[in-house]
Every structure is written in structure tokens, then in C-alpha cells.
């Protein structure tokens, strides 16, 4: 059995569900750990609670200069740096910056954003994972979902071509939004992701991102 991780979960204080409650349900579903990545504009300060809960922050902004300022502010202080993607300018600026760990939903929450060859190459160069947000599939129907599935299919194609890192996340805002690993794999198959790819996007790749940040932290300690 693999070690599964969900690296994009929103918990208290951004939502009403405490992080421990999220972890309890995620554990029951078969995850080894989760990362709480609340949006930076909705929370002030947060503390690490349990060793299986990794703390991150999801930077949400519309302007590139503000993104750079916020990256500077949070870099080195928060273990997992996630950028709220969707906007083309933000996608580009985030993928060009090696401090970023994950670009969340590059196709946007409504399928409005796009990735292209240039952006994915930057992602590979800077070791940034491209996130596939399953809640966008769960919460949309008809035209919206068709558009999002199409975008994800395109993104997957690019990710395969350039061997970029991709991860599957739930973007859960309550315990009812969490989905067990096998359900995530079934959802990923809707846009053509193969089983092995999906397993690795839930286990090996998130783990390598977490280890990366752990090494970074150690380096900081040595300095």
C-alpha cells in the first residue's frame, strides 16, 4: 500500500472544520497525511498541530507584483508555498519562481485558465508541481465540467510530454469534500489519467515535495 497525501486542504480558520478533524477523516480514508493550505488573504497566522499535518499557504492575488511581494514575505517561513492559479499572468509568474512548490488549479476553478508549452517547461525547470483539483470536477456540472475536463486533458498531455510533476488534490473545505484515494483515481480517469500516474500523483510526488521542503528546512537550521 502506498502512502497517500492530499496537499491542498482548507481548514479552520478559513473554513469551519478544524485541521485535526480533516486529518481524522483523511486517515480513515487511507491517507498518510494532509497539508493545510489556507488562502493567505483569509488567515493571519497558523500553527503546526500534528506531525501528519503539513502547513502551507495558498497565495491568492490578481497582480504579479503583489505575488512577488507575498512570495518574498512567506518564503522560508512557510514549508509549503502554493499559488492560487487560473489567471494567465499569475500562472506564468508563479511557474517562473523557484520558491513556489505547487501551482494550484492552473486551469482555474471554472476552467478559465490555460497552460502551454512554455509554462510547463518553466514548471519542470523550477521543480513546481502542477495540481489537478478534483473538487472542480465534483462541484461542477454540464458545460462547466466539460470545459474543466477538457482543460485538464490538455494539461495532462503537456505534463506527460515534458515529464512535469503533477499532483491530485481535493481542495476540501469540509470533511464531506474529502475523497478516498481510490475515488480520486477514478475521478482522474475521467480526464484520461492512467491508474499508475494517478497513484504516483497521490503518493510519490507529494511525498517528494514534502521531503524537499523538509531538506530546505534542515538547510535553514544549518545556516
Partner 1 sequence: MRRRDRRRYLVFEVMSEIEVDKYKLLNAIWNSMYSLYGDIGTSESKLWLVKYDKKGIGMLRCAHSKVDEVRAALACIYSVNGALVGIRVIGISGTIKAASRIA
Question: Which spans of this chain sit near partner 1 (rule: CB under 8 A)?
Answer: 25, 29, 134, 137-139, 141-142, 145, 174-180, 182-184, 186-187, 189-190
Min CB(59)–partner 1 separation in Å:
26
CB atoms within 10 A of CB 123: 26
Supply the minimum distance, in Å, between the C-beta of residue 183 and partner 1.
4
Nearer to partner 1, 164 or 187 (CB): 187
Beta strand pairing status for 102-104 and 129-133?
parallel
Q: How many residues does the chain have?
A: 223
Cβ nearer to partner 1, comparing 51 with 143: 143
Nearer of residues 183 and 204 to partner 1, judged by Cβ: 183
Angle (CA) 119-104-57 rounded to 5° is: 125
- What is the C-alpha to C-alpha distance for residues 155 and 137, in angstroms, rounded to an integer? 15
Q: At its nearest, how many Å lie between partner 1 and the CB of residue 173? A: 10
* Cα–Cα dist 151/148, whole Å: 5
Report the nearest approach of partner 1 to the CB of residue 99 (Å): 33
Q: Which residues contact 71 (CB under 8 A, 6 or more apart)?
A: 59, 81, 97, 99, 100
Residue closer to partner 1 by CB (options 124, 180) is: 180
Amino acid at each position: 500500500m502506498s502512502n497517500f497525501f492530499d496537499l491542498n486542504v482548507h481548514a479552520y480558520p478559513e473554513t469551519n472544520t478544524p485541521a485535526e478533524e480533516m486529518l481524522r477523516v483523511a486517515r480513515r480514508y487511507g491517507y498518510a497525511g494532509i497539508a493545510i493550505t489556507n488562502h493567505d488573504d483569509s488567515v493571519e497566522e497558523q500553527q503546526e498541530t500534528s506531525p501528519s499535518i503539513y502547513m502551507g499557504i495558498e497565495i491568492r492575488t490578481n497582480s504579479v507584483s503583489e505575488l512577488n511581494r507575498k512570495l518574498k514575505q512567506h518564503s522560508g517561513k512557510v514549508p509549503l508555498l502554493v499559488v492560487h492559479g487560473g489567471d494567465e499572468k499569475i500562472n506564468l509568474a508563479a511557474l517562473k519562481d523557484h520558491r513556489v512548490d505547487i501551482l494550484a488549479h492552473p486551469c482555474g476553478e471554472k476552467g478559465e485558465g490555460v497552460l502551454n508549452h512554455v509554462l510547463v517547461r518553466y514548471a519542470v525547470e523550477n521543480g513546481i508541481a502542477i495540481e489537478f483539483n478534483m473538487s472542480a470536477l465534483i462541484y461542477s456540472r454540464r458545460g462547466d465540467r466539460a470545459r474543466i475536463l477538457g482543460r485538464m486533458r490538455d494539461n495532462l498531455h503537456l505534463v506527460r510530454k515534458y515529464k512535469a510533476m503533477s499532483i491530485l488534490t481535493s481542495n476540501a473545505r469540509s470533511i464531506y469534500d474529502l475523497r478516498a484515494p481510490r475515488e480520486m483515481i477514478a475521478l482522474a480517469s475521467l480526464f484520461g489519467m492512467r491508474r499508475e500516474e494517478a497513484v504516483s500523483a497521490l503518493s510519490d510526488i507529494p511525498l517528494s515535495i514534502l521531503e524537499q521542503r523538509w531538506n530546505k528546512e534542515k538547510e535553514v537550521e544549518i545556516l
